[in-house]
Chain A
Amino acid sequence: MDFINDHHCEKIYAGAVQSVEEAVINAMIAAESVPTIKPPDHILEAIDHVQLINLMKQYGRF
């Protein structure tokens, strides 16, 4: 059976960590606001894209 040399695991670790971090952000960016059911009559808001981009620009990250 084939398997990578342990020395290369760090590259896999880095790819995994970056992917997980980005996946969480992507989940938030792609999501849309939904109403609540318990308790009812509230809205769980999706993150505001324009507000987020402006904030990123403010910190020089966009």
Chain B
Amino acid sequence: MPAPIWAGHFNLNGNGEMTGTHWINEVGYFMSPICLTNTHSVGMAHHATVGWMIEQYKSVCQEDHAWAMPVIAETYDGMCNDICGRHITEKDVLKAINSANNGPVAEGNVGGGGGMQTYEFKGGTGTASRMISFEDKQYTVAALVQSNFDIRHESNILGVPVGKHMRENALVSELSGHGQGSIIVIIATDAPMLPVQLKRVAKRGRSVLAAQAPPVGITPAILCWLFPSSMLWIFH
């Protein structure tokens, strides 16, 4: 197995799935790929990722008793994707993991973000980072989201009430009568931090709702995850 990476986990609303987090909460570290997908493909993603880990860490998994408990998280894209068809295959997952790379991260309708909505606009995968410094050292904090939450009129960007002005084509509430969805937030930093410190940062991932849409309803699930590393695995 690779060297464990310190991690912290927080969820604001339990209407969502992020596997592997019982172990994170127990020991404060993890050692697997992270896969983001749709709600009904969590099982396949988990199955495939366990297979990848068994092959990747053959000596400790097959000749010894190391076990694989990967982190797989989901949001629901049933309005724009045939989620009940469960089209994601083991091959798709392995291809995604094996093609993970350094460099710029694709955003928008990519990976698990393909069918997601945000404030009833098309949403999906997004990323951003900040450089910070203290004690003469510079660090990076970065976030990756699979954004699939909330209703148009609550949309607020940089303090501008976008949703109150751009009211056309608010499809989710037009079709269902209410907003819905959730968001997965993954935060990574190269600053050396303890698991308890990481968990505190993970809690701040919920601030996206405080900043952009004050109420936290029943459906929006926020699953935040933080680990000190620059490696992310994403797939659709």
Query: B-contacting residues of A (Cβ < 8 Å)?
Result: 1-6, 8-9, 11-39, 42-48, 51-52, 55-56, 59, 61
Contacts and interface: CB of A to CB of B under 8 A. Distances in A.
B204 A13 contact: yes
A54 B131 CA distance: 29
Contacts of A4: 134, 191-193, 197
Nearest to B110: A30
Contact of B113 (A19, A31, A51): A31
Contacts of A17: 204-205, 207-208, 211
B187 A20 contact: yes
Contacts of A46: 121-122
B80 A34 contact: yes
Contacts of A47: 121-122, 166
A24 B165 contact: no
B205 A20 contact: yes
Contacts of B147: 23-24, 27-28
A9 B162 contact: no
Name the interface size band of chain B: 35 or more
Contact of B212 (A5, A21, A45): A21
A48 B78 CA distance: 23
A33 to B, nearest CB: 6
A23 B79 contact: no
Given A13-B201, A15-B130, A1 B192 contact: yes
A59 B164 CA distance: 13
Given A19-B143, A28-B126, A45 B171 contact: yes
B63 interface: no
Contacts of B134: 4, 8, 11
Given A3-B193, A3-B194, A16-B143, A61 B158 contact: yes
A15 B143 CA distance: 9
A6 to B, nearest CB: 7
8 contacts: A15-B141, A16-B205, A19-B187, A23-B147, A35-B80, A44-B79, A46-B121, A59-B160
B118 A28 contact: yes
A42 B174 CA distance: 11
